[in-house]
């Protein structure tokens, strides 16, 4: 009887040892998490530098959202700089009339009429943009040049482009540099040129000037973006990768308009990559969460490169077949961690090797080492409680 029991014990031990020495499973590298990359503000995409499938690093520039640039309409000095980065220009304009004012280099303007113009019809026909010559009516000591800038109901306006005059000084206006009577086209009063308002639209992302700066016509003053910036915070226009990972999809391209918080692309963080595999019901006792495993890439079997990992989760719900039908071979989905490198890609096939630790509990709840020792001595394994 003893020999029979010992033989059975040895057979079970041999079968257990053969089954538990090293089990292997076919798995697939999957994304444990997919995170979106959002637009910090609205605007037009100036650049997208990545495509789906690219591996990126944390902090890498993925693209850039363009801005609306506001330029100086005239040459002059910046004054009344009312905006700050993060401000909504419409709110500032409502309060101050503009975001920025520029005092023109040409400080004087003249409101003129054709009064005292030489009695000739062509001298009463004033042309926009024409060059004129100015002379004070007091003693002729102040002279200069100007340009017709506007036509009004009462006459016309002149922007003084050269010469020095006094405020409210009366001047004669001529078409000839010689100030001949035949070229007189009217008279006017010198006044201060009004600062030019620059309003803008949207929220201020960046300001390029300060109060008192001299700017030329066409020089950039500030940049704006669509929408409201959170907490008056003005972020960079660059789209930055939030983590090391793989770009899984790109939903917007260069030149397209985007709204604030719109998804520009999605990415798989490298640290979230894991291996998914199925475990048969009969093998569940061989695996446990936290158990160490080694993995080998299907295409890399010749090189023998191994990846260390551990079982992170075993589902408690049976996996259904693709057609939803039940099957006698019940499977449960399991996951293992893996340290990603440049060779690893989502969707790759991986072989998982799960080696059993020594002193593992045998299928019937006994101890495999103890049963082996009993077999060698020819003794029965003591019953529990004896």
Q: Report the distance separating Cα 65 and Cα 255, nearest Å.
A: 9
pLDDT higher than 60, residue 310:
yes
- Alpha carbon of 366 to those of 5, 139, 359: distances in Å? 14, 123, 10
**pLDDT, position 226:** 86
Cα separations (Å) of 168 from 109, 159, 366?
10, 14, 112
Structure confidence at residue 230 (pLDDT): 74
H-type helices in the chain, by residue range?
A: 2-20, 89-96, 368-377
pLDDT confidence of residue 213: 97
Average pLDDT in the chain: 85
| Domains of the chain: residue spans and CATH | 21-32+271-377 (2.40.30.170), 68-103+196-225 (2.40.50.100), 107-192 (2.40.30.10)
For the cut 80, the answer to whether the pLDDT of residue 176 exceeds it is: yes
> In whole angstroms, what is the distance from residue 360 CA to residue 225 CA?
64
Q: Is residue 323 very low, low, confident or very high in pLDDT (cuts 50, 70, 90)?
A: low
The whole-number pLDDT of residue 9 equals 46
Most distant CA atoms of the chain, gap in Å: 144
Q: Assess whether pLDDT exceeds 60 at residue 385.
A: no
Instruction: Taking the CA atoms of 80, 84, 88 and 91 in sequence, report the sign of the dihedral they define.
Output: negative
Nearest alpha carbon to residue 166 among 114, 112, 113, 107 = 107
Give the pLDDT confidence score for residue 322 in this predicted structure.
Answer: 62
Residue-wise pLDDT for 17-69, tens only, equals 444 457 889 999 999 999 999 998 888 899 999 999 999 999 999 999 989 99
What is the Cα–Cα distance from 2 to 4, expressed in whole angstroms?
5
DSSP string, 267-310: EEEGGGEEEEEEEEGGGGGG--TT-EEEEEEGGGTTTT--EEEE
DSSP string, 73-112: SSSEEEE-----TT-BHHHHHHHHS-SEEEEESS-EEEEE
- Is 339's pLDDT higher than 60? yes
251 pLDDT above the threshold of 60: yes
């Amino acid at each position: 009887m003893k020999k029979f029991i010992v033989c059975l014990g040895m057979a079970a031990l041999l079968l257990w040892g053969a089954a538990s020495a090293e089990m292997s499973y076919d798995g697939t590298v999957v994304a444990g998490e997919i995170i979106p990359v959002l637009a910090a503000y609205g605007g037009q995409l100036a650049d997208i530098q990545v495509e789906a499938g690219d591996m990126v690093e944390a902090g890498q520039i993925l693209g850039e959202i363009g801005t609306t640039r506001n330029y100086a309409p005239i040459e002059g000095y910046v004054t009344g700089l009312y905006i700050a980065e993060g401000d909504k220009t419409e709110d500032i304009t409502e309060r101050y009339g503009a975001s920025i004012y520029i005092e023109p280099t040409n400080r004087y303007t003249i409101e003129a009429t054709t009064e005292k113009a030489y009695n000739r019809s062509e001298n009463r026909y004033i042309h926009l943009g024409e060059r004129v010559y100015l002379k004070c009516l007091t003693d002729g000591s102040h002279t200069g040049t100007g340009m017709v800038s506007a036509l009004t109901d009462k006459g016309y306006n002149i922007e003084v482009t050269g010469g020095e005059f006094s405020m409210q000084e009366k001047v004669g206006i001529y078409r000839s540099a010689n100030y001949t009577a035949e070229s007189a086209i009217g008279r006017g009063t010198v006044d201060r040129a009004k600062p030019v308002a620059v309003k803008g639209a949207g929220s201020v992302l960046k300001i390029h000037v300060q109060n008192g700066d001299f700017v030329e016509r066409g020089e950039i003053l500030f940049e704006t973006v669509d929408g409201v910036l959170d907490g008056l915070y003005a972020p960079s226009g660059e789209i930055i990768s939030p983590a090391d990972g793989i770009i899984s999809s790109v939903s917007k391209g260069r030149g397209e308009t985007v709204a604030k918080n719109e998804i520009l692309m999605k990415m798989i963080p490298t640290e979230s990559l894991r291996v998914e595999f199925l475990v048969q019901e009969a093998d569940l006792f061989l695996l446990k969460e936290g158990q160490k495993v080694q993995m080998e890439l299907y295409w890399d079997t010749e090189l023998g490169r191994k990846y260390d990992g551990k079982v992170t989760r075993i589902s408690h719900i049976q996996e259904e077949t693709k057609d939803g039908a039940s099957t006698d071979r019940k499977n449960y989905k399991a996951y293992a961690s893996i340290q990603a490198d440049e060779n690893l890609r989502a969707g790759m096939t991986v072989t998982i090797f799960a080696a059993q630790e020594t002193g593992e509990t045998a299928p019937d709840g006994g101890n495999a080492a103890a049963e082996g020792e009993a077999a060698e001595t020819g003794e029965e394994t003591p019953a529990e409680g004896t």
